[in-house]
Structure 1
Amino acid sequence: MNTSAINLHTKITGIVFWGLALIGIIACVVLMQIVEPVVTERYNKHFYEASVRSEFLLQTNPDLSSERLRAELDFVRKDTGVDAFEISSGMDIIVIGKIHPEAGSRSILIQYANNEASPENHELVVVMYQPSAADTLANIRKNVIMGMAALFFLFGMVLQKILRRMLTNPYARMIKIASGFIDNPDGRFDDSRGDEFGFLASFINKALDDLVAKQHELESALTRAVDSERALFAEKEHAEVTLSSIADAVVTTDENGEIAYVNPVSEALLGCDLASIRGKRLSDVVDLFSEETDLLVDDSCIECIRTNSIVRDQGTQRLVRRDGTYLEVQTSAAPLRDGIGEVIGAVLVLHDVHEAHVLARQLSYQASHDPLTNLINRREFENQIHDVLESSTMRGIGCALCYLDLDQFKIVNDTCGHIAGDELLRQLTHQLSTIIRDTDTLARLGGDEFGVLLRGCSTADATRIADSMCQLVKEFRFAWEDKSFDIGVSIGLVPLHETTMDMVGALSAADVACYAAKDHGRGRVYVYESNDMELERRRGELVWATQISDALQEDRFRLYFQPIVPLSSRDTLSSHCEILLRGVDKNGKIIPPGAFLPAAERYKLMPAIDRWVINTLFLHYGDDIRNRHAKARFSGTGKHTGPISVNLSGASINEAGFLDFIRKKIEKFNIPPAALCFEITETVAVANLVEASEFIHDLKRIGCSFALDDFGSGMSSFSYLKNLDVDYLKIDGSYVKDLVHDPIDRAMVEAVNQIGHAMGIATIAEYVEDEAIFGALSAMGVDYAQGYGIARPAPIDGLFAKDRSQTIEVLA
Structure 2
Amino acid sequence: MFRKSILSKILGVVIAVAIIGFGGLIYRVIEQGKKNLLEERKRASELMAEPILESIYDDMLRERADIARYFIKGVQSIKGVERVQIIRSNGIEEAFQDFKTLKTVEKEYGKLKPEWTADHPDKQNNVAQGVDKPEFKEAVKLFNKGKKESVSYIEESVDKRLLTYLVPIVARPKCKSCHGVEQSARGVLMISTSLEDMYASSASNRERWLIYGLFTILSITVLLAFLVRGIIRPLQRLSSAAEDIANGNFKISVPVQTSDEIGRLSRSFNKMAHEVEVRTKELQKLSMAIEQSVNGVFIVGRNGVIEYVNTMFEQITGYSKEEMVGHDLRTFASEIMTKNEYEGLWKTISAGNTWQGSYKHKKKYGQPYWCNCLISPIKDKKENITHFLLIQEDITKKKESEERIQHLASYDELTGLINRTRFMELMDEWIAYAKTKPAIAGHPQTGALLLIDIDEFRYINDTYGHNIGDEFLRGAAKILGNTINDMAAQNIKRAKEKSIIGRLGGDEFAIFMSYTDVKETIDVVELIRKKIGSIHSFISASVQLTASIGIAFYPKHGAATKELFIKANAAMSQAKEAGGDRHHIYSPEDSYLEKMRSRFEWKGHIQKAIEEGRFEPWFQPILDLKDDKIHHYEALARMRSEDGKILLPGVFIDTAEIFGLIGTIDKIITEKVMKLQAETSRQKSSLAFGMNLSGKDLGNEELLSFLQSKIVETGADPSHLIFEITETAAVRDMDRAIKFINALKSIGCLFSLDDFGVGFTSFIYLKEMNVDYIKIDGSFIRRLNENQNDQLFVKAIVDVSKGMGIKTVAEFVENKEIIKLLKELNVDYAQGYGIGKPAPWKDL
| TM-score in terms of structure 1 length | 0.44
| TM-score in terms of structure 2 length | 0.42
Larger radius of gyration: 1
